[in-house]
Structure 1
């Protein structure tokens, strides 16, 4: 079975650091994502400071796993790099998914934590990092060695497939 089917949302992590080389590989995979007009509007903040991870978990209602995750990657879109208005969301989503898949291949656990389009979350995360107003945080990916076992799930549903018409 391909790695894509092994990817699961992992919210519990071992107290074990993730090597910088592995983080670099995750970011390399993120930057291999497709983007509209090849605009590549993404920017990334790597967070391995426990105090900063705690600050995120304190303000984001669905980021409590950052209290124990060894690292997180904040995926942002730079509106100044947009060639096609609004497509930064798709571009940065593809980059986020690539991080999740590369991490799975490396035996790391991840979970996608949504930030955009919730205005409060965008403001809170932007304030923590001093993100300029032209850059929007889309997602946060918690990364670490899994401390939970997740089973593969087959979500294939032929009733959701339509050929040539609805």
Structure 2
């Protein structure tokens, strides 16, 4: 495949059409759809295949409202109708509890969830909990996460998009180098 033909590949179309969705219709996704998104998240690569993650699917309107109230960058959560919380398990990660592999591993899972949502016609947005201590505490309190080794990394509101949010072209060749830093890709 060359040029445009490569960009027409269904996986690449999904990647390039993914957007941060902050406006939702108010119709919640099904638990089956949300479970599929988590399954996609769990398909992500991890260091030494440790899979240092746990996921909380939230559909309870009261809990979604509490997350909306407590998280300044997740004000769309209640309107989305659901959220997926990604927790990093510091005890299960590569190199033990003092390493930070859980962050990269869980971030790969988050990206898979976002792409899967786009692929099935849902909207989602990555809102960070970690490393902000107030946000981490808010998620812990609202969802009963008491184990210290489980760290809320992100709250992902998921719902049916209104269509107002559009993808952004982020390609910037000035940030790409060939074989060594400073040698522009031409």
Q: TM-score, normalised by structure 2?
A: 0.86
RMSD: 1.1
CA distance in 1: counterparts of 2:24 and 2:134, whole angstroms: 27
The residue correspondences of 1:1-166 to structure 2 (distance < 5 A) are: 1=8, 2-84=13-95, 85-131=99-145, 132-166=147-181
- Higher RCO (Cα < 8 Å, 6 or more apart): 1
More displaced stretch, 10-19 vs 87-96 = 10-19
- Flag structure 2 segments of 5+ consecutive residues without an equivalent: 1-7, 182-186
More displaced stretch, 143-152 vs 111-120 = 143-152
Encode CA deviations 1:30-68: one digit per residue, 9 max, x unaligned: 000000110000100111011101111111111110131
Contact 2:127 2:155 in 1 (8 A): yes
Q: Which one has the largest radius of gyration?
A: 2
Change in Cα spacing, 1:17 to 1:151, as seen in structure 2 (3 Å) is: closer
- Flag structure 1 segments of 5+ consecutive residues without an equivalent: none
Q: TM-score, normalised by structure 1?
A: 0.95
CA distance in 1: counterparts of 2:34 and 2:144, whole angstroms: 22
CA distance in 2: counterparts of 1:72 and 1:33, whole angstroms: 19
